[in-house]
Amino acid sequence: MANIYYKSAQTVQANPEQAGFTGYASTWTRTPDYAGDVVVKGAFSKTLADWEAKGRAIPLLWLHDDGNPNAYIGVAKCTEDDHGLKVEAVLDTDNPTAKQVHKLLKGGQVSEMSFAYRVIDSATVEVENGVKANELRELDLLEVSVVPHGCNPDTSIDDVKAVQNTPLFTNEEVAKLKALINQAPSGEATNKPSEGAGRIKHGEIMARIANQVKEYLTLPD
């Protein structure tokens, strides 16, 4: 089985319309990264075509933690352009980890990306000033991750998208809920024990309201 490697880049930016970001998980720089590698343009072309042919989204993870379901924070659309492997990511806002990562991205505490891959084709080459590097020519992309520090400092997250604040209820639903509350049985708010069938403790009133709201929320549209 081929070894799995991890490599990082550095730019993240937000989009005001959706929770997510754009950035680069890899760049075509000829300066070797911390692992002594350079990636050539076209290294991802086949693997991206394979992902598209499968009809599957590329997983977006936090810290490459693929053994943790909560680390799957979204999906990524990856394309090659003149700068590198561009990532357009959408975060799963129902995932608490994704929400926290989004907060870190917006705050600037985290701004780098990384990707997991298998090497299909590579060769030793000489780059600037006679420096030797391992040139990665074809890679099998497994996932992309948001990371605090990456192997390639040239990667980045450029644009962090905002989470839309969607109201829990529509105005019509709020009106219905208010009507339910107004229909709740009246009684005297007291912490004392009930002193007869006609007296209802405040806690009992709130319990009835809560039950009515629960019943309402489970009704079909």
* Cα distance between residue 201 and residue 217, in whole Å: 25
pLDDT of residue 168: 44
Total residue length of the chain? 221
Q: H-type helices in the chain, by residue range? A: 45-54, 96-107, 171-182, 202-217
Q: Is the pLDDT of residue 128 over 70?
A: yes
* Cα distance between residue 27 and residue 47, in whole Å: 16
| β-strands 84-91, 20-27 pairing | antiparallel
Mean of the per-residue pLDDT values for the chain? 77
130: pLDDT confidence band, cut at 50, 70 and 90?
confident
Is the whole model's pTM more than 0.75, yes or no?
Answer: no
DSSP class of residue 35? T
Percent of the chain with pLDDT over 70: 59
Average pLDDT on 81-102 reads 93
Of the CA atoms within 13 Å of residue 126, those in its CB half-sphere come to 2
Residues 24/11, Cβ–Cβ less than 8 Å: yes
**CA geometry: angle 93, 95, 99, nearest 5 deg:** 60
Residues 21/15, Cβ–Cβ less than 8 Å: yes
